[in-house]
Amino acid sequence: MIHTADSFHPFDLSSDTDYQAWRAWKLDGYPVTAQDLLVPVADPAHLSGAEQAALLAVCRKANMAIYVVRDGAPADKEAIRALGRQFGLERLDRNLRADEDSITTLRVVPEAASARYIPYTSRPLNWHTDGYYNPTDEQVRAFVMHCVAPAASGGENLLLDPEIVYILMRDRNPDYIHALMQPDAMLIPANVEDGRQLRAVQSGPVFTVEKASNALHMRYTARTRSIEWKADRAVRDAIEFLRELLDSDTPWIIRHRLQAGQGLICNNVLHRREAFVDDAAAGRARMLYRARFYDRIRDTVADDRCEGDRQCCG
């Protein structure tokens, strides 16, 4: 039996059959550590067929993979762009601080204008998905984060697949999922700087199942400032469940400190960053390139993953 987007609905709360089939497939052989996500590549801009297939297989299962450029050969922004294209990542998000080519250089920026944006400091960055504040039609579905240089110490990333969150939540209480799919579950106030509105107020769901593809999309931030949760008991309980999960030592959270020449390619998984310390004098200052896309990694929706899988499709 071949499932298509029209006939397979694992994220439909009113039916359990497809969910259970997909869940069994998803949890079977799920990556345990960051080691399981690593895929060596020679040149990220020009992957071999085997390298591309290996990266895609890991992304299909875990919504993320970490490529490792052999010999730590340097890669520039154009290489990151070219890497994305090989996975259908075309439409770049233009965020506030992106450089002219819409790929952001993440490093400590001492200027006052950037000081309120934690990504440009060495402070820890709490759990979030990228662009959770974006309007509904400009959701960040994937990003690539390439490490040019690690910090002298610290800067580890913690990663958690939204589909795993979905499973843990649905298994605990499907009402949590229902609550977080409400279009007004989260409200992000407008971003106003020096009296000028940089971003309008946004409200939206945490979980979305995209009609065209059946893909599950998640937006979230653990911030307590600049976000208002719907005053609804189910939303409050669901968010409390999620906070406890993210603060726990659950083995579903994967930890990895990106080394020079390594990069994360993912369907905008939940992530946080630990604090770090640079030693600029010794040439050890953390620097990453980050590209955000409106596209999802091609061929990574639940429907495709179950095709031909005996455990799932019988």
Q: Indicate the residue among 70 and 255 with the shorter CB distance to Fe ion.
A: 255
Residues in binding contact with Fe ion, number by CB under 5 A: 1
* Cα distance between the two ends of the chain: 8
Instruction: Give min distance, CB of 128 to Fe ion, in A.
Output: 6
Query: Would you say 10 or 162 has its CB closer to Fe ion?
Result: 162
* Interaction of residue 278 with Fe ion, rule CB under 5 A: no
Provide the 10 A C-beta neighbour count for residue 19: 20
Q: Which residue has the tokens 């939204």?
A: 162
The least CB distance from residue 290 to Fe ion, in Å, is: 7
Smallest distance from the beta carbon of 65 to Fe ion, in angstroms? 17
Task: Provide the sign of the torsion angle of the four alpha carbons 219, 29, 256, 50, taken in this order.
Answer: negative
**Structure token digits, residue 2:** 């071949």
Contacts of Fe ion in 204-263 (CB under 5 A): none
DSSP notation for 220-243: -B--STT-EE-S-HHHHHHHHHHH
Q: What are phi and psi of 117, to 5 degrees?
A: -100, 105
Rounded to a whole number of angstroms, the minimum distance from the CB of residue 237 to Fe ion is 26
Of 130 and 163, which has the nearer Cβ to Fe ion? 130
- C-alpha distance from residue 217 to each of 192, 243, 310 (Å): 27, 18, 26
Closest CA to 102 of 131, 128, 74, 124: 131
Rounded to the nearest whole angstrom, what is the least distance from the CB of residue 92 to Fe ion in the complex?
15
Shortest distance, position 107 Cβ to Fe ion, whole Å:
14
- The answer to whether the beta carbons of residues 130 and 140 sit under 8 Å apart is yes
Of 177 and 206, CB closest to Fe ion? 206
- Residue whose CB is less far from Fe ion, 130 or 161: 130
Instruction: Give me 151's structure tokens.
Output: 């910090």
- At its nearest, how many Å lie between Fe ion and the CB of residue 143? 7
Token digits of residue 146: 């390439």
Nearest residue by C-beta to Fe ion?
A: 130
Cβ-Cβ contacts under 8 Å for 95 (sequence gap 6 or more): 102, 104, 131, 292
Cβ proximity to Fe ion: between 91 and 172 the closer is 91
Contact letters for Fe ion, residues 102-141 (x by CB under 5 A): ----------------------------x-----------
Return the number of the residue (159 or 164) whose C-beta is nearest Fe ion.
159
Q: Which residues bind Fe ion (CB under 5 A)?
A: 130
